[in-house]
Amino acid sequence: MFDKIIESRALSYSVAIILLSLMMMPIYWTVVTSFKPDIETYVFPPVYFPKNPTLSPFKLLFESYPFADYLRNSIIVTVSTTFIVTVTGMLAAYGLSQYTFRGSSLTIYTLLATRIIPPLSLLLPFYLVVTWLDLVDNLLSMIIANIYLTYPFAVLIMKSFFDAFPKELIDSAIVDGCSRTGALLKIVLPVGAPGIASAAIITFLWTWNEFIYAFVFTSTSKAQPVTVGCFDCIGDIFVNWNQMCAGALLAALPGIIFVFIAQKYLIRGLTAGAMKF
Partner 1 sequence: MRLTNSRYGFLLNLPGLLLVILWVFIPALILFLTSFLRYDNVRPIIFNGLANYKNLLNDRLFWVGMERILVFSVGTTALTFLGGLIIALALSGIARGGGILRSLMIVPWAVPAVVSGIIWKWMFSPDFGVISDLLMKIGFIDKPLSIYGDPRLAMVGVIIADSWTRIPFMGIILLAALLSIPTELHEAAKVDGASSTNRFFYVTLPLIKGPLLVGLLITAIFSFRTIDIIIPLTAGGPGRATYVFGFYIWDQIIKTLNFGMAAAASVVLFFLTAAIALIFIYYLRK
Inter-residue contact 208 to 74 (CB < 8 Å):
yes
Question: Footprint of partner 1 on residues 189-248 (CB under 8 A)?
Answer: 205, 208-212, 215-216, 227, 230-231, 234, 241, 244-245, 248
Separation in Å, CA 49 to CA 33, 36, 61: 9, 9, 22
Residue pair 79/267 in contact (Cβ under 8 Å)? The answer is: no
Among 19, 39, 169, 193, binds partner 1 (CB under 8 A): 19
Query: Using CB under 8 A, which of 64, 104, 172, 219 touches partner 1?
Result: 104
Query: Interface with partner 1 by CB under 8 A: which range of 63-71, 103-111, 133-141, 189-197?
Result: 103-111
Rounded Cα distance between 69 and 220, Å, is 10
Q: Is 50 in the site for partner 1 (CB under 8 A)?
A: no
190 phi and psi, to 5 degrees? -65, -45
User: Which of 30/56 has CB closer to partner 1?
Assistant: 30
Stretch that binds partner 1, among 62-70, 88-96, 133-141, 189-197 (CB under 8 A): 88-96
> What's the rounded Cα separation, in Å, for the pair 141 and 218?
9
Phi/psi zone of residue 165: left (φ > 0), alpha (ψ -120 to 50 degrees), beta?
beta
Cα dist from 274 to 109, 154, 269, whole Å: 14, 11, 8
Nearer to partner 1, 11 or 193 (CB): 11
Told to check if 143 binds partner 1 by CB under 8 A, we report no
CB of residue 176 to partner 1, shortest distance in Å: 16
Minimum CB distance to partner 1 smaller for 30 or for 54: 30
Window of 56-64, 162-170, 190-198, 262-270 that interacts with partner 1 by CB under 8 A:
262-270
Note whether 165 and 184 are within 8 A (CB).
no
Contact between 107 and partner 1 (CB under 8 A)?
yes
Select the residue interacting with partner 1 from 39, 55, 68, 129 (CB under 8 A): 129
